[in-house]
């Protein structure tokens, strides 16, 4: 059974649970289970007691695999969803939890999943479900040194993926082909997976989430690529915009404006600054240039096991909007929003670590508006 770093994390978790009056956490979100036990997979659960004991429930086929990966005090295999419900009930009984509050991940659970973990056969009648999302968000927000090193490794993989994507941009190439080039390169450089890869070209750069399509890149198209590789369980986030052929004056001006706003925001990063102040810096630069009506969404978000996690600016995510000053070793993606002009959009995004004195940018692929395609040849 693995011990470090999970005992330290569980001790912090116990303190937060006591502060919130939560007697037990019942987790099903893979990222949260991975953080506290070393293994996070679907169709599984982790029950965490207030004194830091851990029960895991996984499919019977996975018990041996999980036993070699995870930290736990008790592990149970089950055959189906009914078996999972009974396994949860047996864990409550094993730890003597008959009353109190059970913290659940309300921001993650679907109605069907909520029904399973609160089923009358799953928990004692006098155990009341409450939202435990904030505990996990606070726990995971400040990164340990080994977590930052894993994110640093993911950032190097993100740079390699971006290089391959930019080289694949050519007149007539499809967005899917560009995405495939990036994903292959990320795999070859050590990624075991990646969150969604976004590639959008031409007018599709003006939408919020540009999943790749079979649209072919045309001359003078802007092409936006957003990558999120996973290395040893941790993620990086990078976005770059290039142009297939010589950019128009309007495209170049908009891109330079966004880049300046993003870099001004990164320059402000240090322990003590708030997410709201960072958001106001990035958005404020764009608004001052007359683009107040061309913005959507938070420009900054936390990064770690997931490519979007706490912290977020207050008002954008009711379950973990952050108003408190940032501390050292928080990792952020800066540049999450884009400048939506109407015909097209521009964006650049980087993975950055907050330090006591300032910051360290982990993604390093060039930020200039690169000319690709027929003019590039």
Choose one of 119, 140, 161: the last residue of a domain: 140
In a domain? residue 1: no
Confirm if 349 and 226 have CB atoms less than 8 A apart. yes
* Among 64, 66, 72, residue whose Cα is nearest residue 10: 72
Answer yes or no: is pLDDT of 180 > 90: yes
Q: Does residue 3 come out as left (phi exceeding 0), alpha (psi in the -120 to 50 range) or beta?
A: alpha
Q: Does residue 68 come out as left (phi exceeding 0), alpha (psi in the -120 to 50 range) or beta?
A: alpha
101 and 187 part of one domain: no
84 and 224 part of one domain: no
Q: Residue 137 contacts by C-beta under 8 Å, 6 or more apart in sequence?
A: 309, 310, 311, 319, 320
Tell me the pLDDT tens digit for each residue of 103-139: 999 989 989 899 888 899 999 999 999 999 999 999 9
In a domain? residue 325: yes
CATH of the domain at 11: 3.40.350.10
136 and 244 part of one domain: no
Distance, first Cα to last Cα, the chain: 56
Choose one of 90, 115, 140: the last residue of a domain: 140
81 and 105 part of one domain: yes
- Taking residue 144's Cβ as centre, other Cβ atoms within 10 Å add up to 12
Residue-level pLDDT at 377: 47
Residue recorded with tokens 């928990």: 123
In a domain? residue 273: yes
192 and 260 part of one domain: yes
Tell me the pLDDT tens digit for each residue of 212-222: 999 999 999 99
Average pLDDT, stretch 13-33? 97
43 and 111 part of one domain: yes
Residue-level pLDDT at 294: 83
Residue recorded with tokens 């069907």: 112
211 and 122 part of one domain: no
In a domain? residue 326: yes
In a domain? residue 12: yes
262 and 336 part of one domain: yes
Confirm if 3 and 106 have CB atoms less than 8 A apart. no
**pLDDT over 70 percentage in the chain:** 96
How many angstroms separate the CA atoms of 102 and 258, rounded? 45
Answer yes or no: is pLDDT of 33 > 90: yes
- pLDDT confidence band for 314 (50 / 70 / 90): confident
Tell me the pLDDT tens digit for each residue of 240-286: 999 998 899 999 999 999 999 999 999 999 999 999 999 999 999 99
- pLDDT confidence band for 315 (50 / 70 / 90): low
- pLDDT confidence band for 376 (50 / 70 / 90): very low
Answer yes or no: is pLDDT of 370 > 50: yes
In a domain? residue 316: yes
Number of structural domains found in the chain: 2
Average pLDDT, stretch 225-252? 96
* Among 115, 221, 131, residue whose Cα is nearest residue 174: 221
Secondary structure, 3-state, 291-357: CHHHCCCCCEEECCCCCCECCEECCCCCCCEECCCCCCCEEEEECCCCEECCCCEECCEEEEEECCC
Give 368: exposed, middle or buried? Use CB within 10 Å, 0-12, 13-18, 19+: exposed
Mean pLDDT of the chain: 93
In a domain? residue 270: yes
Crossing angle of helices 30-37/6-20, nearest 10°?
120
In this structure, what token pair is assigned to residue 330? 């928080």
CATH of the domain at 203: 3.90.230.10
Q: What is the largest CA-CA distance in the chain?
A: 71
93 and 242 part of one domain: no
Residue-level pLDDT at 186: 98
State CA 233 to chain mean position distance. 11
Domain of residue 69: give its range: 6-140
In a domain? residue 361: yes
76 and 192 part of one domain: no
Residue recorded with tokens 């009358």: 120
Choose one of 140, 173, 199: the last residue of a domain: 140
207 and 355 part of one domain: yes
Answer yes or no: is pLDDT of 174 > 50: yes
Residue-level pLDDT at 2: 66
174 and 106 part of one domain: no
Please name every residue paired with 292 in a beta bridge, in sequence order, or none if there are none.
none
């Amino acid at each position: 059974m693995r011990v470090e770093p999970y005992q330290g994390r569980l001790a912090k978790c116990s303190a937060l649970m006591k502060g919130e009056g939560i007697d037990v956490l019942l987790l099903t979100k893979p990222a949260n289970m991975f953080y506290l036990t070393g293994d996070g997979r679907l169709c599984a659960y982790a029950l965490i007691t207030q004194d830091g004991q851990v029960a895991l429930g996984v499919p019977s086929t996975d018990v041996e695999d999980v036993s070699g990966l995870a930290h736990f005090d008790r592990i149970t295999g089950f055959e189906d969803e009914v078996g999972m419900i009974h396994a949860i009930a047996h864990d409550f009984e094993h730890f003597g939890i008959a009353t109190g509050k059970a913290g659940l991940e309300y921001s993650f659970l679907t109605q069907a999943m909520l029904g399973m973990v609160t089923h009358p056969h799953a928990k004692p009648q006098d155990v009341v479900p409450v939202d435990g999302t904030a505990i996990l968000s606070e726990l995971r927000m400040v990164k340990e040194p080994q977590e930052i090193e894993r994110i640093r490794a993911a950032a190097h993989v993100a740079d390699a993926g971006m290089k391959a994507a930019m080289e694949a941009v050519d007149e007539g190439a499809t967005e899917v082909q560009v995405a495939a080039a990036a994903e292959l390169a990320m795999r070859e450089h050590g990624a075991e997976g990646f969150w969604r890869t976004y590639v959008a070209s031409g007018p599709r750069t003006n939408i919020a989430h540009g999943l790749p399509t079979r649209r072919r890149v045309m001359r003078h198209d802007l092409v936006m690529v957003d990558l999120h590789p996973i290395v040893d369980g941790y993620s990086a986030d990078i976005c770059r915009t290039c142009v297939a052929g010589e950019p128009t004056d309007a495209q170049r001006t908009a891109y330079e404006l966004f880049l300046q706003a993003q870099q001004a925001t990164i320059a402000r990063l240090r322990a003590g600054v708030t997410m709201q102040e960072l958001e106001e810096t990035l958005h404020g630069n764009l608004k001052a240039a007359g683009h107040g009506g061309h913005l959507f969404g938070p420009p900054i978000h936390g990064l770690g096991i997931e490519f979007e996690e706490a912290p977020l600016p207050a008002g954008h995510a009711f379950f973990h909007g952050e108003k408190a000053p940032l501390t050292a070793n928080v990792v952020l993606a800066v540049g999450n929003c884009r400048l939506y002009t109407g015909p097209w959009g521009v964006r650049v995004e980087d993975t950055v670590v907050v330090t006591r004195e300032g910051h360290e940018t982990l993604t390093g692929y060039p930020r200039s508006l690169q000319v690709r395609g027929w003019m590039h040849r």
